[in-house]
Amino acid sequence: MRLKFFLIIICLILISLFACSNEEQNQDEAQRSTPEIPSITIMTHDSFSVSKKVVSLFEAKFHAKMVILKSGDAGEALNKAILSKNNPLADIFYGVDNTFLSRALGAQMFVAYAPSNLDSVDTLLKLDPENRLVPVDFGDVCLNYDIKWFKDNNKLPPAMLEDLIKPEFKGLTVVENPATSSPGLAFLLATISRFGQEGYIDYWQKLKANEVLITNGWKEAYWGKFTAASEGDKPIVVSYASSPAAEVFFSETKLTQAPTGVVVENGSAFRQIEFAGILKGSSKLTLAKKTMDFILSKEFQEDIPLQMFVFPANKEAALPEVFKKHARITKEPAILDPLLIDTKRDTWIREWTEKLL
Amino acid sequence: MDRKITLIKKRTYIHPYALAGLVPACFLLFFYFYPLSGIFLKSFFQNGKIDLFFLDQVFASTRMIKIIWFTFWQAGLSTLLTLICALPCAFVLSHYSFKSKKIIKLLASIPFVLPAVVVAAALQACFGKNGFFFGVKIEHPLVLIFMAHVFYNFSIMLRIITGFWSSLQGRIREAAMVLGASPVQVFLTITLPLLKPAIFAASILVFIFCFSSFGIILILGGPSFSTIEVEIYRQAAHLFNLPLASFLSLIQIGFTFALMWIYTSFTKRAARFAPDAEKANLKKAVFLWEKMMIAGVIIFILLLCVVPLMALVMKSLVYKGQVSLIFYKALFENVSDSIFYIPPFHAIKYSFLFAGTALVIAVITGVCAALFIRFCDRKIDNRWTSFFDPIFMLPLSTSAVTLGFGIIITLDKPPLNLRTSIFLIPIAHALVGFPFVVRAILPAIRSIPEHLTDASSLLGASPLKIFRYIDLPLMSKSLVAAAIFAFTISLGEFGATIFTARPETPTIPIAIYRFLGQPGAMNYGQAMAISAILMVVTAIGFVVIENFRKENSEGF
């Protein structure tokens, strides 16, 4: 009796599974049996997003399907792409940032191609002269602060990195661990750019003396410790310059003023640039090139801000209202050479870890 | 006559239970050892020669030694604390019947499915700045880590020990009582030794689970506390230092194997007893002290498991100081028209589908593995047991990043081209659930007296029949616990590190992570709302699994 029941349940589950997988297979077969509908696969990180409208536009324009593979966070996704370079999982990789740029280029797994819209991209963003990886979006990592907290406590918010080590900012800041978090690493690089390779540790030790809190990831810092977003008690957090725009966009009552402010001037914001490129070994090179054109086209670029809360690389792409009002682009971001970042990253992180933890 | 005997001998030579060992063996071989050996070979033999520079990095750095030491002692202490919390509760749950028992057991198991980031939010809601836990404020990362580990693993201990304890024969204890032994004497000299297999099994499981703890340490521990698992992730995902990551993975695997080897050698002579019906053992509370004990256990479990869960539900229901369903409503809207928008019912459907499939895979391979281990125990040399038993535990303590990288480089050719397949998801979940299943049913399956199966075999029952009429009924209780573990592990597994996900098949934890990925009050509220839904979905799953057994337990 019991065995029968057990078997029935197993059968039911297996049947439902097969029904499900058949669906999958049918889709696959449909793709295979109709060669006029090819598909292009984009491998990317977990934070990638795109709107339905843009995807259907792509599919209508090129008579091709867009398949997206998410492969973990930015570092993990890139490493998976590097590991599979002899037998790539996708045609295009989207989302190598400038801190990983030289590792990605060193793996020699991208095909050089200059998309048709590349001229509309700011030359400052173009870091690979051979165009194996082209810039697609960028965002500034900087200090965010809780406007209300500073008002309530009759204090002035910080204006630059140096402010954080002043006594009046004691115990107010939460930052992320550069070893486990990408905004954390960007912030470390901002301090290195500002205080130099000799001076940055000194700055961090003063920060530590000023009771800075360090968390492992952005989620824990923002959702766990930041006064504007959680029950935490730190009114200053390391986040993105576009975070206030997201705060406004994702609020039910449609706030007119962002609850948070950003510190971007005086070289205190580090620019993270994301790149995309065609993976070597892609069997659909022509279509992949068209897709790269599409990624830099106005349609795709104008979709980026509200999907991923970063800025489009194409200068001609219009920004949405909420970005114009609440997100800021700094004129003088902190900049470091990608090659220098790649060669020194491990050393800096190790030094930082040993001195700070 | 002689000929006939040899014939029988020949036929019994390949025992079906020995064949059963092939199922877990193949499963692990294809989805575990093959990918792992692939990534190890690639990391250690770069450019055709062995490069051992990473050894310096391990042994020259005090930080690495500290990490290894911390990993050990936090796991040990977490296990001990969990055992202290679970043992009294298991006693009450296995001896007394009371009204709210079922629901208490159910509530105690829910924490297990929650993603670490949600548990952190729950603990913070309780003990943070405005925490509503009687004004108690706890911020020390170590305390939070231990609380979270107990919160997570309490149900593992509780379920395994209760399942075993309630099938312990009462007669020996009664006999001892009649002969004048005090309750303490009875407990120390009879119950505890009999209970040892279950306590050890549960403890070893919790220890290994905490030993390879990842999310909790990463989120609650902050950067000052790091386990080997966290360090592997850091080295592999961010620094791309594969040799070091692989070496640390090997340390983890090697240690788990050694620990399990000691454990299996230690418990070679498992206690044997005749299992009894559950109902005969259960009694109603009569005396005041008994009632108080039950009340105490209920309050304890409510405080430990339910208060943090309630805090989460409250967070999902309160918007600007007022009770509101706004976050739940928002789940059904795709504000930014993203193709990655996850409709809640979609997420529930796929969560159930994957969890159900993972459950079936894990239970089938787990039962086969347990039968095989018992077969090794009894029919062949014990040494094989001490080899296979540890092997079956390895997936539990293997770094997800390492395994994920291994899958990428090895499972890339037909017929095993699974890198982006939908099947990889339940398989990866089952891989983690499988050791739980083995540990949960092995004590029960070992305690089935050998003479029972021998007798039925002598009377002409085929091994399959013996399994169906003797083994299966006698282990059904543990089997339910096992199924629940496999199910919950799959439901709560975020696991993007293992497989390359196609966003068309989202699960609830993936939805939670998606919401928490971007700033904005609505995102946070929706993450809490979908966490609350995850709890409800889990509870429904538990009820289904539990009832599935109950309906069929009359023939006991």
Q: A 100-119 residues with CB below 8 A of B?
A: 103
A214 close to B (CB below 8 A):
yes
B511-550: pLDDT as tens digits = 888 888 778 788 888 888 988 888 888 888 888 877 765 4
d(CA A86, CA A66): 22
A254-277: pLDDT as tens digits = 678 889 999 988 888 999 999 999
Strands B322-323 and A311-312, by their bridges, are unpaired
d(CA B467, CA B472): 6
Q: Do B353 and A17 touch (CB under 8 A)?
A: yes
* Coil, helix or strand at residue B472: helix
B170-215: pLDDT as tens digits = 777 778 888 888 888 888 888 888 888 788 888 988 998 899 888 8
Give the per-residue pLDDT at A239: 94
Strands A260-263 and A270-279, by their bridges, are unpaired
Residues A129-150: what's their mean pLDDT? Answer: 94
A145 close to B (CB below 8 A):
no
Q: Do B519 and A250 touch (CB under 8 A)?
A: yes
- Average pLDDT of chain A is 87
Q: B 365-404 residues with CB below 8 A of A?
A: 401, 404
Gap from B179 CA to chain A (nearest CA, Å) = 40
CB B445 within 8 A of CB B370: yes
Cα angle value B109/B110/B115 (rounded, 5°): 125
Give the per-residue pLDDT at A216: 86
Q: Does domain A139-271+327-356 have CATH number 3.40.190.10?
A: yes
DSSP for A226-258, written as a single string: BTTTSS-SBSEEEEETTHHHHHHHT-TT--SS-
Residues 6+ apart with CB under 8 A from A330: A140, A142, A241, A264, A265, A269
Which of chain B's residues have a Cβ under 8 Å away from the Cβ of A24?
A: 422
State both tokens at B191: 């119950």
A142-180: pLDDT as tens digits = 999 999 999 999 999 999 999 999 999 999 999 999 988
What stretch of H or E contains A175?
A: strand A173-176
Helices (H), chain A: 2-33, 52-62, 74-83, 101-106, 147-152, 182-209, 218-219, 243-249, 285-295, 298-308, 321-326, 338-356
The pTM of this model reads 0.83
Lowest-confidence region among A22-26, A172-176, A181-185, B340-344: A22-26
Q: B 458-497 residues with CB below 8 A of A?
A: 468, 472-473, 476, 496-497
Which of chain A's residues have a Cβ under 8 Å away from the Cβ of B502?
A: 67-70
Burial class (CB in 10 A: 0-12, 13-18, 19+), A245: buried
d(CA A309, CA A306): 5
CB A286 within 8 A of CB A347: no
Nearest residue in chain B measured CA to CA from A305: B336
* Residue B133: pLDDT band with limits 50, 70, 90: low
* Residue of B241, B413, B500 lying closest to A71 (CB–CB): B500
Give the per-residue pLDDT at A261: 92
Q: Do A216 and B330 touch (CB under 8 A)?
A: no
* Coil, helix or strand at residue A96: strand
Among residues A293, A292, A323, which one has the least CA distance to residue A308? Answer: A323
A290-301: pLDDT as tens digits = 999 999 999 999
- Start-to-end CA distance of chain B, whole Å, equals 39
DSSP bridge pairs for A312? A137
Which of chain B's residues have a Cβ under 8 Å away from the Cβ of A260?
A: 519
Between A353 and B281, the higher pLDDT residue: A353
Highest mean pLDDT among A193-207, B5-19, B265-279, B417-431: A193-207
pLDDT of B495 over the 70 cut: no
CB B76 within 8 A of CB B212: no
A321 close to B (CB below 8 A):
no
What stretch of H or E contains A41?
A: strand A39-44
Cα angle value A45/A51/A52 (rounded, 5°): 120
Cα dihedral B307, B311, B317, B322, rounded to 10, equals 110
Half-sphere exposure of A355 (CA within 13 A, CB side): 16
pLDDT of A15 over the 90 cut: no
* Residue A30: pLDDT band with limits 50, 70, 90: very low
Instruction: Return the number of other C-beta atoms located less than 10 Å from residue B131's C-beta.
Output: 17
DSSP bridge pairs for A51? B338
CB B534 within 8 A of CB A101: no
Give the per-residue pLDDT at A55: 93
Which of chain A's residues have a Cβ under 8 Å away from the Cβ of B121?
A: 223-224
Highest mean pLDDT among A21-35, B107-121, B149-163, B410-424: B149-163
* Residue of B218, B468, B518 lying closest to A180 (CB–CB): B218
CB B435 within 8 A of CB B24: no
- Average pLDDT of chain B is 81
Q: Do B224 and A357 touch (CB under 8 A)?
A: yes
Highest mean pLDDT among A12-26, B69-83, B91-105, B279-293: B69-83
Residue type, B496: A
Give the per-residue pLDDT at B269: 53
State both tokens at A171: 């115990």
Gap from B241 CA to chain A (nearest CA, Å) = 10
Mutate to test the interface with A, among B64, B124, B518 (most CBs of A within 10 A): B518
- ipTM for the predicted complex comes to 0.81
Nearest residue in chain A measured CA to CA from B337: A51
Cα angle value B211/B217/B219 (rounded, 5°): 160
Nearest residue in chain A measured CA to CA from B234: A180
Residues A85-93: what's their mean pLDDT? Answer: 92
Per-domain boundaries in chain A: 34-137+274-320, 139-271+327-356
Residues 6+ apart with CB under 8 A from A355: A201, A204, A205
Give the per-residue pLDDT at B278: 47
Q: Do B357 and A353 touch (CB under 8 A)?
A: no
B523 close to A (CB below 8 A):
yes
pLDDT of A237 over the 90 cut: yes
Give the per-residue pLDDT at B83: 94
Q: Do A246 and B519 touch (CB under 8 A)?
A: yes
Class of domain A34-137+274-320 as given by CATH: alpha beta
* Residue A94: pLDDT band with limits 50, 70, 90: very high
Between B131 and B289, the higher pLDDT residue: B289
A243-255: pLDDT as tens digits = 999 988 888 776 7
Give the per-residue pLDDT at B74: 94
Domains along the sequence of chain B with CATH: 63-317+326-550 (1.10.3720.10)
DSSP for B349-376, written as a single string: HHHHHHHHHHHHHHHHHHHHHHHHHHHH
Residues B472-499: what's their mean pLDDT? Answer: 81
Residues 6+ apart with CB under 8 A from A329: A140, A241, A264, A311
Which of chain B's residues have a Cβ under 8 Å away from the Cβ of A59?
A: none
B174 close to A (CB below 8 A):
no
Among residues A301, A187, A299, which one has the least CA distance to residue A239? Answer: A187
State both tokens at A335: 């900049």
Lowest-confidence region among A40-54, A293-307, B412-426: B412-426
A50 close to B (CB below 8 A):
yes
* Residue of B337, B472, B551 lying closest to A52 (CB–CB): B337
DSSP bridge pairs for A278? A92, A111
Gap from B353 CA to chain A (nearest CA, Å) = 7
Among residues A244, A280, A281, A276, which one has the least CA distance to residue A262? Answer: A244
Which of chain A's residues have a Cβ under 8 Å away from the Cβ of B523?
A: 250
Give the per-residue pLDDT at A120: 92
Cα angle value B265/B72/A357 (rounded, 5°): 165
pLDDT of B1 over the 80 cut: no
Gap from B283 CA to chain A (nearest CA, Å) = 27
Gap from B181 CA to chain A (nearest CA, Å) = 40
Nearest residue in chain B measured CA to CA from A71: B500
Among residues B535, B149, B497, which one has the least CA distance to residue B351? Answer: B535
| CA dist A347 → A197, A350, B382 (Å) | 11, 5, 50
Q: Do A219 and B548 touch (CB under 8 A)?
A: no
Nearest residue in chain B measured CA to CA from A234: B129
Query: In A258-289, which positions are buried (b, 16+ CB within 10 angstroms) versus exposed (e)?
Result: bbbbbbbeebbbbbbbbbbbbbeebebeebbb
Q: Do B223 and A357 touch (CB under 8 A)?
A: yes
* Residue of B326, B408, B501 lying closest to A70 (CB–CB): B501
pLDDT of B70 over the 70 cut: yes
> What whole-number percentage of chain B has pLDDT above 90?
12
* Residue B381: pLDDT band with limits 50, 70, 90: low
| CA dist B151 → B86, B111, B135, B216 (Å) | 11, 7, 20, 11
Cα angle value A133/A137/A140 (rounded, 5°): 120
* Coil, helix or strand at residue A305: helix
d(CA B88, CA A203): 52
